[in-house]
């Protein structure tokens, strides 16, 4: 049961993503039919720089719904079941996750939190527990199989910990991704999902920089921390009106 590491791969994204977003934005403000404009976009007659400048300008106004037409699909491995429980809270997405009902967990890989990894005594106890769980899983699965239970893996999986590795394929549109990055790139996000979000953001920026250049934790875009005095990490100042309230108190 080896320790495993995060790996994030971009499997696919909507083709001609910039042109599609440009066309969707233009249809909102254009009296004509963008279907007739589409061949000109694909041929390069309307250049990418012009498209990007228009999209950037409109997005800056707060109009962002047309970016929902473009989606990205990721494959992730080396993440824990604890992470996947957080990930699926983002509901405007599609998920396909490795099943513990069907995949044998006898030698499951696991995720080791850094705080435990750097403390030898904690790490030794953690890894001993993982080994004990693996042994118990194998024993119970064998007992169920030998006594004629047809779904041994399905019931033996109840022993598997949140540290057990899982693998997921998921798809989000650009608007959902921006929301995801605002929450999960924040320094207050749990360390594992933040590392995954940072890796995803890097991949998105390579494909569609005009949309994702300013994506990330909300504080980076706003220039202040919107979390409030109680939850701020201190990286950015609180909004001025919040500071005034604090001073009055």
- Surface-to-core class of residue 104, CB atoms within 10 Å of its CB (0-12 exposed, 13-18 middle, 19+ buried): middle
Please check the confidence at residue 219 and state whether its pLDDT lies above 60: yes
Torsions phi, psi for 35 (to 5 deg): -60, -30
In a domain, 80, yes or no: no
**Does the residue 111 lie in any domain?**
yes
- Evaluate whether 51 touches 22 at the Cβ level (below 8 Å): yes
Does residue 192 fall inside a structural domain? no
Which of the two residues, 239 and 249, has the higher pLDDT score? 239
pLDDT at 247 over 80: no
CA dist., res. 202 & res. 209, Å (int): 10
The answer to whether residue 148 is domain-embedded is yes
Confidence at residue 241, expressed as pLDDT on a 0 to 100 scale? 53
Q: For 72, phi and psi rounded to 5 degrees?
A: -125, 140
Q: Which residue has the higher pLDDT, 17 or 224?
A: 17
Mean pLDDT of the chain: 93
Kindly state the average pLDDT of the residues 148-165: 95
Q: Is the pLDDT of residue 177 over 50?
A: yes
Mean pLDDT of 103-118: 96
pLDDT value at 2 more than 80 = no
Q: Is residue 151 assigned to a domain?
A: yes
Instruction: Identify the sign of the CA torsion 152, 1, 158, 170.
Output: negative
User: 9-25, pLDDT tens digit by residue?
Assistant: 999 999 999 999 999 99
Q: Which residue has the higher pLDDT, 2 or 148?
A: 148
The answer to the question of residue 60 being in a domain is no
Looking at the domain assignment, is residue 149 inside a domain? yes
What pLDDT is stored for residue 244 in this prediction? Answer: 41
Give the C-alpha distances (Å, rounded to integers) separating 107 from 69, 81, 85, 165, 228.
41, 15, 22, 11, 44
Instruction: Look at the chain and report how many structural domains it folds into.
Output: 1
Q: Give the per-residue pLDDT at 1.
A: 63
Q: Looking at the domain assignment, is residue 126 inside a domain?
A: yes
- Confidence (pLDDT) at 4: 87
Residue 157: which domain range?
Answer: 101-163
Q: Over range 126-134, report the average pLDDT.
A: 97
Active site residue ranges: 184
* Sequence-ordered list of residues with C-beta below 8 angstroms from that of 80, at least 6 positions apart, any chain: 110, 111, 162, 163, 164, 165, 166, 192
**21 in Cβ contact with 55 (< 8 Å):** yes
């Amino acid at each position: 049961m080896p320790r495993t590491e995060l790996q994030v791969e971009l499997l696919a994204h909507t083709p001609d993503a910039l042109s599609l977003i440009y066309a969707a934005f233009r249809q909102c403000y254009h009296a004509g039919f963008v279907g007739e404009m589409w061949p000109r976009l694909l041929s390069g007659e309307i250049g990418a720089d012009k498209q990007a400048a228009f999209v950037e300008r409109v997005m800056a106004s707060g109009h962002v719904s047309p970016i929902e037409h473009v989606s990205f699909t990721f494959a992730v491995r080396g993440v824990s079941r604890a992470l996947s429980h957080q990930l699926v809270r983002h509901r405007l997405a599609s998920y396909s996750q490795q099943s513990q009902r069907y995949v044998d967990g006898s030698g499951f890989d696991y995720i080791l939190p850094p705080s435990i990894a750097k403390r030898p005594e904690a790490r030794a106890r953690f890894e001993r527990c993982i080994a004990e769980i693996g042994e118990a899983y194998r024993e119970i699965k064998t007992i169920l199989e030998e006594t004629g239970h047809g779904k041994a893996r399905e019931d033996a999986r109840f022993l598997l910990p949140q540290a057990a590795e899982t693998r997921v394929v998921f798809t989000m549109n650009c608007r959902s991704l921006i929301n995801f990055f605002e929450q999960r790139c924040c320094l207050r996000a749990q360390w594992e999902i933040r590392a995954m979000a940072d890796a995803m953001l890097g991949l998105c920026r390579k494909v569609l920089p005009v949309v994702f250049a300013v994506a990330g934790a909300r504080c980076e875009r706003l220039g202040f921390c919107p979390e409030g005095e109680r939850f701020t990490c201190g990286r950015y100042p609180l909004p001025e009106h919040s500071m005034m309230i604090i001073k009055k108190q």
